[in-house]
């Protein structure tokens, strides 16, 4: 259900953004959330453009990472909305482990952070010599083309957050993917309102300078979608 409220920033007129937090292999919830977005688009047609914007962490921990990536490639419904899929730290770990010249510890690091569930969703495990061949090339190509950030109106969309004392055009990619502190406890102003995931909380976090929408879907919480339009915001969740 969509609840209109005053947002901490503004989008350009005519643009509605559906920003989705960390999915982490919860393909069934993602499909249900897409249906809720489709119903919202039917009930409240976008005045000009609707954009689906994922904040990363599609894989690991949950039961069906393969299904999540397939849904990103072939979303059902959504009434012709455009789509942007940002890179998360879990995709970065997966891509490093799957690289042709992967560092020696890359696979172990990925497995220690939930990667085993991803391989199991492809019907394999790290002990199988041909595990990499089980991952469709289209899934890896999708992840390789994910940008690190997207700026729209007053908002900056990233996976994890930003380093508060660094200009936005000079942010370290590692911070965009991994940062928690000092970003989460920051109480000052930022150049843009940062919409992020990465750090799970029971409910969305709304501050004057940031909105956090990772609500821990893979840990039993909701999968949350932030809806932004001009100076308003609301939430959909499954």
* pLDDT score at 79: 72
Domain coordinates in residue numbering, the chain: 5-237
Residue whose structure tokens are 């939930």: 114
- Enumerate helices (H) and strands (E) in the chain, giving the number of each: 7, 11
- The two structure tokens encoding residue 134: 């089980």
Kindly give the parts of the chain with pLDDT less than 70: 1-4
Q: What class is the 5-237 domain?
A: alpha beta
Cα 70 to Cα 93: distance, rounded to the nearest angstrom: 19
| pLDDT tens digits along 75-121 | 877 877 899 999 999 999 999 999 999 999 999 999 999 999 999 99
- The two structure tokens encoding residue 183: 């970003």
* pLDDT score at 35: 95
* pLDDT score at 5: 77
Q: Which of 56, 73, 68, 63 is nearest to 20 (CA)?
A: 56
- Classify residue 3 as exposed, middle or buried by CB count within 10 Å of its CB (0-12, 13-18, 19+): exposed
* pLDDT score at 3: 56
* pLDDT score at 173: 98
End-to-end CA distance of the chain, in Å?
10
72 Cβ contact list (under 8 Å, min separation 6): 54, 58, 83, 85, 142
Residue whose structure tokens are 């085993």: 116
């Amino acid at each position: 259900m969509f609840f209109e409220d005053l947002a901490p920033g503004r989008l350009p007129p005519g643009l509605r953004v559906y920003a989705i937090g960390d999915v982490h292999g919860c393909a069934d919830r993602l499909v249900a959330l897409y249906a809720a977005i489709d119903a919202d688009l039917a009930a409240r047609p976008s005045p000009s453009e609707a954009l689906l914007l994922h904040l990363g962490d599609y894989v690991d921990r949950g039961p069906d990472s393969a299904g999540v990536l397939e849904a990103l490639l072939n979303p059902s419904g959504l009434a012709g909305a455009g789509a942007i899929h940002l890179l998360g730290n879990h995709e970065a770990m997966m891509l490093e482990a799957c690289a042709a010249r992967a560092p020696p510890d890359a696979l172990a690091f990925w497995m220690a952070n939930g990667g085993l569930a991803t391989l199991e969703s492809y019907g394999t495990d790290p002990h199988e010599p041909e595990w990499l061949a089980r991952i469709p090339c289209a899934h890896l190509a999708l992840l390789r083309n994910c940008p690190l950030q997207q700026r729209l109106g007053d908002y900056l969309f990233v996976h994890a957050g930003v380093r508060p004392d660094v200009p936005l055009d000079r942010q370290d990619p590692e911070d965009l993917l991994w940062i928690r502190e000092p970003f989460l406890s920051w109480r000052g102003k930022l150049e843009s309102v940062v919409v992020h995931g990465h750090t799970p909380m029971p409910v969305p976090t709304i501050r004057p300078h940031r909105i956090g929408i990772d609500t821990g879907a893979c840990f039993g919480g909701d999968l949350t979608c932030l809806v932004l339009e001009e100076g308003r915001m609301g939430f959909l969740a499954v």
